[in-house]
Structure 1
Amino acid sequence: MLDLERLRALHSVATYGSVSAAADVLHVTTSAVSQQLAKLERETGQKLLERNGRGVRLTDAAELLVTHAERILSLVEQAQADLEAHRGSVVGQLAVAAFPTAARGLLPGALCALRADHPDLHVQLVEEDPLRSLPLVLRGDYDLAVVQDWNNEPLPLPDGLHKGVICDDVADVALPEAHPLAGRDSVDLKELAGDAWISSSPDSICCGWLLRTLRSVDAEPKMAHMAYEFATQLSLVAAGLGNAILPRLGRCDVPPGVAVVPLAAPLSRRVYAIWREEAARRPAIRAAIRALRGAVPADVPAVTLVPS
């Protein structure tokens, strides 16, 4: 009979590309993964890995076995979810990824509520950009991810994932205090077309969205500086080095020298939680959704949809 943990080791090598990467994901040593694979080769009577330069590659037999392992591991997860649902208890482990402002503006309250209401549920939070967290939830690295999309650019959801809406979030523009439009009640994005901008790192969802949004109002963006943290972006704005888009969720303290001005045509983003289809019945998932919605700040509109 094939051993589940040995199949999991092989599946991780196939997914992450190397024995060492699989060991990191499984939180074991490379030696432990190699031993699991050696035992699996003896069980199957087939060679599963071959040397490929400095690394390894899967044999045809291993590729065939990985296809079955994906289905087996999915069924195991579904069985665990069904058992939890049958028992109705919020227990076990829950790995959660969240983009930075959600990690700051939602997760502290949600995690405290979960700890108080469900002491047998152990939650681990990792800060992650939505573009990276989506595939990691799909692969099983995280059980749940908090992601975002913008009203003018929906985030495609891969097959196999479910989502529940947490809240809507409005964004303002942060201008240097000396900017000619800093004293306005509102500003049109087109009026800022020729300005310099400050955004997050080039590979983040927010940077790509800002570039496309500015181009949509006939402006080729001048990306002056890039910094992942909003606090750093605002410090650069305060120094007069450019403008920044500033969502209200998880907003940090606005430093002196920065004027926050609403946009005449509001830009808003929708905040979602996503999880794998196989885990949809887990009480822990539903409890986490409730806790996230309960942690929405008063100045951010919550959305009271029931996750399917």
Structure 2
Amino acid sequence: MTDWDIKKLRILRTLADRGTVTATAEALHMTPSAVSQQLTNLARQLGVVLLEAQGRGVRLTDAAHLVLRHTEAVFAQLERADAELAGYLAGEVGEVRVGAFSTAIPALVVPAVAALKRDHPGVEVRIRETEAAESYELLSTGAVDLALSLAAHTPADDARFTLLTLLEDPLDVALPPEHPLADAPSIRLADLASDRWIYGGSGPWSEITRSACEAAGFRPRQAHSASGWTSILAMVEAGMGVALVPRMVSTRAAGVTLRVLTHDRPTRHVLAALRRGAESAPAVARVVQALRTTAGSRPARL
């Protein structure tokens, strides 16, 4: 029977994900020469060629991709084994590392952690603020156990992850208090086609704003660029433009007029992502349930 070396298979899996030996070495805290040596030994053990030279780098062979297809099932089963062993040894005691984007932390993660402290004090949560787009990289390298991300930044059909929808977060429009539509009976996104807009120059919120406006029939005219909600809302309050704001941010918008969009009603979907198989770990399951309860208790309207 073939000698399947889990450590070496993990290196091959990381190379497939990162693309280069150097990036793989950085992710696994190894030297590039050690990565190359381990993969050479793996190829010898399996009796197949796993890598081929491509310019200054390497590419995975068909045999390597075949190995990786089976490897995903192996790692998922090992995650389940770890989860069951953790439940047996620790019961409801455990540490869960959660990566979450900035607006999700006060709106979802902090209330969920408060509930866990009350109901399951043995479960300790460590929070790491992340960009939504980097969540899956942190999961794949084991830097976090659970990540909150947005559906717009979810890799399609990735067998390594389990995805759970937590919340549909509506997008409201933030207007200066003196805006002509601040007191209008109803408002739709297309009514703001000629306004000056405030949103990030790049990243998820830039994409979400542009996509929502384009779906409403216009391309937003960007007047100012900012990535933090404090800056965006301060500029809106000063009459420098309008902005789309997720409902989870509404508690910070004291100086602006927030209006629910009556027709377009764009939303963003907030997801919890885990390495496949890890969802059965008792501590992780407690955190997921607390997040779901918190998400379900949020008000649907302003």
Tell me, yes or no, if the aligned pair for 1:174 and 1:243 is still in contact at 8 Å. Answer: yes
Aligned partner of 2:222 in structure 1 is 223
Deviation string, structure 1 residues 38-57 (Cα, Å, up to 9, x no partner): 54355446664454433333
- Which sections of structure 1, spanning at least 5 residues, go unmatched? 303-308
**Match of 2:101, as an amino acid?**
F
Deviation string, structure 1 residues 142-175 (Cα, Å, up to 9, x no partner): 54332346xxx9x896365544443444433111
- TM-score of the two chains, using structure 1 as the length reference: 0.74
- Aligned residue for 2:234, secondary structure, equals helix
Closer, same or farther: CA 61–16 of 1 in aligned 2, 3 Å: same
- Aligned residue for 1:280, secondary structure, equals helix
**Match of 1:288, as an amino acid?**
V
Aligned partner of 2:262 in structure 1 is 264
Aligned partner of 1:21 in structure 2 is 23
Q: Which moved more, 1:66-75 or 1:86-95?
A: 86-95
Tell me, yes or no, if the aligned pair for 2:27 and 2:141 is still in contact at 8 Å. Answer: no
CA distance in 1, matches of 2:163, 2:14: 25
Deviation string, structure 1 residues 178-208 (Cα, Å, up to 9, x no partner): 322234465332322211222234441x433
> Which of 145, 148, 152 in structure 1 is aligned with 2:147?
145
CA distance in 1, matches of 2:64, 2:267: 47
CA distance in 1, matches of 2:163, 2:13: 26
**Match of 2:280, as an amino acid?**
R
Give aligned-pair identity as a percent. 35
More helix by percentage: 2
**Match of 1:260, as an amino acid?**
L
Deviation string, structure 1 residues 104-145 (Cα, Å, up to 9, x no partner): 32223334554673546564534232x554687578775433
CA distance in 2, matches of 1:7, 1:52: 21
> How does 1:1-308 map onto structure 2 within 5 Å?
1-30=3-32, 32-41=34-43, 43-44=45-46, 48-59=50-61, 62-84=64-86, 89-90=91-92, 94-114=96-116, 117=120, 119=122, 121=124, 123-129=126-132, 133=135, 142-148=144-150, 158=157, 160=159, 162-184=162-184, 186-204=186-204, 206-251=205-250, 253-254=252-253, 256=255, 258-265=256-263, 266-296=265-295, 300-301=299-300
- Aligned residue for 2:217, secondary structure, equals coil
CA distance in 1, matches of 2:191, 2:56: 55
- TM-score of the two chains, using structure 2 as the length reference: 0.75
